[in-house]
Amino acid sequence: MTPFKVGDKAVYPAQGVAEVVGIDTKEIMGTSQTFYVLRVMDSDKRIMIPVNNVKNVGLRSVMSGKELEEVYDILRERDVDLNQQTWNRRYRAYLEKIQTGSPYEIAEVLRDLNLLKFHKALSFGERKMLDKARRLLVQEMAVAKDASEEAVMEELEHIFTA
């Protein structure tokens, strides 16, 4: 894991893309600890993560160009065995995937829910899950491509309506 610098963008699982706005050292119970201070881009929420705990919370760099292409491949995949479990079991499985913070897992959730909605109406929870997966993925893809979120949304709409 490469250390982040102020101004870097990073992905915080289930929160989305955040900017490192500071690196602070605080004394906690007699021990000096260094923290990344993050600002979640779409909510302006501030999060402090101990530098030595980055791996445990899943903070990672924004996907690379190669990873971006793999995400597009996942989104374009149509030969998918859609989860035929009850909606609440499906929901839990999708929630676990989103919480990993992996762009591949989130892309699978986005793809599967988009395909599923052509076969039947999504539950309220599934619609919220679809929105969350779309928001997380679009945000990171836009940063990775240095494009607007609107442009990425249009691409995704084209992928799912083509």
Count of domains observed in the chain: 2
d(CA 162, CA 159): 5
Amino acid of residue 88 = N
pLDDT of res. 1: 46
In a domain, 3, yes or no: no
Amino acid of residue 75 = L
d(CA 66, CA 63): 8
Residues 156, 81 within the same domain: yes
End-to-end CA distance of the chain: 38
In a domain, 4, yes or no: no
Task: Please give the residue that has the higher pLDDT: either 37 or 85.
Answer: 37
Residues 94, 133 within the same domain: yes
Rounded to two decimals, what is the model's pTM? 0.89
pLDDT of res. 2: 56
- Diameter over CA atoms, the chain: 59
Q: Read off the pLDDT of each residue in 93-115 and give the average, rounded to a whole number.
A: 94
Q: Which of 34, 61, 88 is a domain's end point?
A: 61
* Burial degree of 55 (CB within 10 A; 0-12, 13-18, 19+): exposed
pLDDT of res. 54: 92
Q: Read off the pLDDT of each residue in 84-96 and give the average, rounded to a whole number.
A: 85
Residues 23, 90 within the same domain: no
Amino acid of residue 10 = A
